[in-house]
Amino acid sequence: MQSPPPVADGRTSDLARYAVLLRTLNREINRTTLDFAHQHKLHATDIHALSVIMDSPADGDRPVTPSRLREELRLTSGAVTACLDRLERAGHISRVRDSADRRVVHIAYNPEARALAREYFRPLARATEAARSRFAPEELATVAAFLDALNAELAAEREAHD
């Protein structure tokens, strides 16, 4: 890992250090996810879509629909349809009609595909748990609070530019 540049007083800039650490983390996770995509003949966009679909329960009562994917991934309707077609053909997702309004389609992550992904990403989970084990619960709470705040700030920046 490349060291961040020093500031005038010789100390490492915290902001530069965070930037390097976050880019490094992003590269490592991207490497793993893109390997998964390649092995399963998926596009990078497909992996991003699966991430949105997989994380939807943590996102409240808003089910994943093609429209929501279009918003989240910033794709055209046609690109979302092509992505969902690929994921459905590969067995990763199912399209389920809403029982109250048959015009609405919800996207479900198939249990077998979820198990496949869980197995593939098990080394990432082990690495995460190994890193977590080095910290006290209070420290982990601070890390989680920082990540929550960073995600909120990034979302606010994105929304300000939409």
Per-residue pLDDT 10s for the chain (162 aa) are 555 555 555 555 788 898 999 999 999 999 999 999 999 999 999 999 999 998 886 445 678 999 999 999 999 999 999 999 999 999 999 999 888 888 889 999 999 999 999 999 999 999 999 999 999 999 999 999 999 999 999 999 988 987
Q: What letter does residue 12 receive in the DSSP assignment?
A: B
pTM for the structure as a whole: 0.79
Q: Cα-flanking dihedrals φ and ψ of residue 98, to 5°? A: -65, 135
What is the pLDDT, as a whole number, of residue 102?
A: 84
Residue type, 78: G
Distance between CA 9 and CA 64 in Å, rounded? Answer: 50
Q: Which residues have CB under 8 Å from 57's CB, separation 6+?
A: none
Helices (H), the chain: 14-39, 44-55, 66-73, 77-89, 111-120, 122-132, 137-160
